[in-house]
Every structure is written in C-alpha cells, then in structure tokens.
Amino acid sequence: MFKPQDGIGEHGEAVPGPPWILGHRGAPRETPENTLVALRRAIELGCDGFEYDLHACASGEAVLIHDATLERTTDHEGPVASLTLPELAGVDAGGWFHKRFAGEPLPLLAEALELDGPRAGERPMHMIEAKDPAVVRAVARRRVELGRDLSVRLASFDRGACLEARDLGLPAMLLAVEASEDGRRFVRDERLAAYGVGPGGWRTPAGRAEWGCEVWGWSVDDPEDLLEACRRPFFGLNTNEPLRALATRALVHLAPEDEGRYPVQAPELEVEPDPVSGGAHGAWSGRWSPVAGVRNPFSFDVEVAVAPLVRGGAFEVEGLPVALRLAPGEAADLPFRIAGGSWSPGDDPRLIARFAWKRGPGRPAGHLVLDAPLARIRGVNLGREAIRLPMLREHPGEREASVTVRRRGAELLCRVEDPGGLDDARALVRLGRHTRRGGRGVRIRLPEDFDRRVEGVPFSCGFDAWPREGGARVRRVRRWAGGIPGGIANGAPGRLFPAAGA
C-alpha cells in the first residue's frame, strides 16, 4: 500500500494504481512505436506496462505493428499479411524515427510477452490490440505457455474477436471511441472483462453508468482528461504522455480532497497562418501575449517554479520562468509573451510547473512536476455556403493547395480542390473524436448538437498521397491545421464553429 511518507518517486511512479498506466505503443515520443526499445522505454519511465498492436504475417506469426501495411513505420512497403516471417526479418522498424534506431526489427509477440516489468520479479501489464482477429489464438497460446499470472488484456473494436478471446480464457476488452448503452449491454451480457474508450469518450450518459467490469481509457493525453480518469478512477489507461499521466495519478493520491481543474492552465495560441509566404519561423507561427494560470491543489504551502519547454520549432519567450509561493488553494495568473513556430504542425511548446514542499506531518519533503501544452490552433465558422480552406505550406518550396468544406444537412463534406501537384490525393478529415479518409472527397457526420456548441468541435482536414521518390513510395500530407494524420507529434486540431444563423 502506498504511504505518502515513503515518497512518490521522481515523476510520481512510486504511487500505485488504479489507474494502471501503460505506454501507448511503448514510448512513441522518444522511440519508434511498437518496437522492443519502445516497450522497454515505457517501463524505464515508470509505466506499469504497455499497449501494443498485433497483425498476423503470411506465415501466421503475430508481429507488433499498428498499420496493416509497412510503409509508415518501416523501410518496406506492402501488406504485412502478404509477407512471411523470414521475409520480414530484414525490415527496419526504427530508422524512420531516427537514425540511432536504424535496424530495430519488427518484434514478435513472444518477445514482447517475455519483457521484464518495472520492478525485479514483476511482469509488466500488456494491453494487446488485435488489429487482425487472426492473432487472438496466438495470444491465448503464448499466455498459457508463459503462465496464467501474466497480466494480459486482449483489446479489439471487433466484437467477434472479443468473444473469441473470452472463450479462449483471455481477459477481453471491447474498444470504442465513446461509451454507449449498446456497448454496455454487450459487455455485461457477454461477460467481458473490460471496456476501453477513447479520450473523453466516457462523457456520455452510458459512460457515467455502472459497468460491472474494468473501465479503461486509450490514448489519454490531455491534462484535464488524465485528471478526470485518475479521479474516477479508471482501472487503467494507456497514454502517449507517461510522465504527465504518472504525475497526475500521484497528484490525485496526494490531494484526494481537491476537486478543482488541472493545476496548470496553459492557454491556446490561435494561429492565423499565411499559407503563401509563411513567416520567419514557417507558416505555423505567430506572436501571442497569453495569460497562464497555476494553483496549489494541496493542503500545504508549496513553492512553484513555472517555465516553458520547447519540443519542436523555434520560439522566443518573455516573462517566464517565474517562481512563486502559494498557500493551499491559492492561484496566480502568469502573463507572458511568446513568438515563433514551425513550418508543420507538430509538438507544441509546454508549460512546466514544479511544485515543491517541505517536510510536514506524515510526508517527507518532495516535489511533483506537472505540465500542459500551449496548443496552437485555428478556427473556421461553418455556414451553408462552401468554404475554401488553404493548406499549409510545410516547407518553403511547397505549392499552394486547398480543400473545400460544405455543410449538407447533418453531414460535413470535404473535397480536395487543388492537390498542389500531388496525384491521387485522398481527402482526410477529423471531426471530434472521429477521422475519415476517402477518395477525392469524404463526408463525416456532424454532432447532433453542433449548432449549440459555441465552443466548437475539434476539426481539421487535408489530404495525402503516396508518390514515388527515388524508387520508393513516400507519404506526402497537406493539411489545414494539426490533428491529422492520426498519431502523436502532429499538433492539435483546430475548431469548427457553427456560424450565427446557420
């Protein structure tokens, strides 16, 4: 049992679950996703385990990879299912991320299941997403071979795969973008072990009901989402921000009576990019004079040091860092100035706040570091007329390109207007928690209450293509804002607002 007097660890990792915290695809901000080095790094950071994805290759073995094809995360191309294990032996799954990971192989399921846990004699927790139902039997067989004390959950959006996993003795987790009453009935009636929902997907009537099973979150990264998930608490979650998640879990243990918002409030930075000329730092840039906020959630005095941290792009900051002392419940506004940016939407700057306290009754001296992103966003109002959205120029020589968006009843239609010289461009759109990909055009359903959402809906659009360059197919993406393509390090989505009187 955790006792505050024992200390919380460097990043809060000594505070146990629930929720149990798993690295999403390992530690994908630092290492190439779904590789052994990524899974090991998640454990080094203090996670209780990791989540990873499985596909079956042509000879039947289960390999760790998210996509059904090899192009995005390896130096090969084509469907994973079309190649045998010997043919996959030479695939480089690390060089795409950074040259220091060149030669990192595609791992086998057996290799992942044999990894050590965070402490001597402990095994890590495994959340295994079956991208291909054919891998379910392989997971069940390997679990029996390695011992039933191995903590494994077989997760899938495919209900048939979940039922097969259950029948084979595996704890099965049904995945969903958001909690639904239909999903709750299915999990209850079929006696599944767990239900997992996407970021914020529990904020539905069904999500607030009693489930009678483990409730998990996947890809939970946002500070407010993490705080809510830890307060519920969820049984477990996976995240691309393991240090933030571990610190938030520790925060909830150290300040159990606090019901306020996340203690570090980082303002959004609205971007008005010039898609034609860009700027000194690139098209995804600007100058802002925002006001951040910090508050003391603890029942004792703290000293707080707040500073910016840049993960991508070039920025100049005035007014930070700053140090202050806060009494229990006290808050402070922090005005500052920030200028700069990048050509492409990517990792946004962060505010880092180090809360430090002196020894007191039942607690040693300690500290906790919390952070929040300074997300760069842009917005657009959706009326009844078509809107032409210019795509960002993501390097100086890139041609102009555009997408049109139009409302048609309860749907949003996006169409590639000018592909900027790319052949076979395929439209991409993100709206809320959903992403769609089509041909020249794509449609996606608007939320039922869209016209009442004065705060807007997360939105982005663009297109991609796979031209051949130097004999290899290379993915090229053009976009209006962050949030696409899926995955991390692609920036925050913009906002789609209902136009007045629409």
**For position 35, what pLDDT does the model report?**
98
Q: For residue 148, what pLDDT band results from cuts at 50, 70 and 90?
A: low
**For position 277, what pLDDT does the model report?**
53
Contact in structure between 52 and 26 (CB atoms under 8 Å) = yes
Sign of CA dihedral 44, 47, 49, 53: negative
End-to-end Cα separation, the chain, in angstroms: 56
Q: What is the DSSP string of 223-283?
A: HHHHHHHHHTT-SEEEES-HHHHHHHHHHHHH-TT--SS-SEEPPPEE----TTT--TT-S
Sign of CA dihedral 226, 230, 234, 235: positive
**For position 205, what pLDDT does the model report?**
92
**For position 417, what pLDDT does the model report?**
96
76 catalytic residue (yes or no):
no
More confident residue, 495 or 472: 495
Q: What is the mean pLDDT of residues 473-499?
A: 88
Residue 278 confidence (pLDDT) above 90: no
Q: For residue 274, what pLDDT band results from cuts at 50, 70 and 90?
A: low
Residue 257 confidence (pLDDT) above 60: yes
Residue 92 confidence (pLDDT) above 70: yes
Q: Write out pLDDT tens, residues 152-164.
A: 999 999 999 999 9
Residue 457 confidence (pLDDT) above 90: yes
| Helix, strand, or coil (residue 88) | helix
**For position 28, what pLDDT does the model report?**
94
Q: For residue 2, what pLDDT band results from cuts at 50, 70 and 90?
A: low
Report the range out of 141-155, 274-288, 385-399 with the highest average pLDDT. Answer: 385-399
Sign of CA dihedral 197, 113, 80, 193: negative
Residue 100 confidence (pLDDT) above 60: yes
Q: Write out pLDDT tens, residues 402-430.
A: 999 999 999 999 999 999 999 999 999 99
Residue 275 confidence (pLDDT) above 70: no
Residue 314 confidence (pLDDT) above 70: yes
Q: What is the mean pLDDT of residues 363-384?
A: 94
**For position 180, what pLDDT does the model report?**
95
**For position 273, what pLDDT does the model report?**
74
Q: For residue 118, what pLDDT band results from cuts at 50, 70 and 90?
A: confident
In single-letter form, the type of residue at position 237 comes to L
**For position 307, what pLDDT does the model report?**
97
Provide the percentage of residues in the chain whose pLDDT is more than 90.
Answer: 78
Q: Write out pLDDT tens, residues 188-207.
A: 999 999 999 999 999 999 99
Q: What is the mean pLDDT of residues 272-276?
A: 66
* Active-site residue, selected from the candidate residues 24, 55, 76, 126: 24
Contact in structure between 138 and 61 (CB atoms under 8 Å) = yes
Contact in structure between 150 and 130 (CB atoms under 8 Å) = no
Residue 4 confidence (pLDDT) above 70: no
d(Cα 320, Cα 203) in Å, to the nearest integer?
Answer: 35
Q: For residue 150, what pLDDT band results from cuts at 50, 70 and 90?
A: confident
d(Cα 85, Cα 200) in Å, to the nearest integer?
Answer: 38
How large is the angle between the packed helices 242-254 and 36-45, nearest 10 degrees?
Answer: 30
Residue 5 confidence (pLDDT) above 60: no
Sign of CA dihedral 243, 226, 265, 458: positive
Q: What is the mean pLDDT of residues 107-135?
A: 90
66 catalytic residue (yes or no):
yes
Q: What is the mean pLDDT of residues 8-13?
A: 84
Mean pLDDT score of the chain, rounded to an integer?
A: 92
Greatest Cα-to-Cα distance within the chain, rounded to the nearest angstrom: 67
**Structural domains in the chain, sorted by start:** 4-254 (3.20.20.190), 267-375 (2.60.40), 379-498 (2.60.40)
Q: For residue 1, what pLDDT band results from cuts at 50, 70 and 90?
A: very low
* Active-site residue, selected from the candidate residues 11, 55, 66, 126: 66
| Helix, strand, or coil (residue 294) | strand
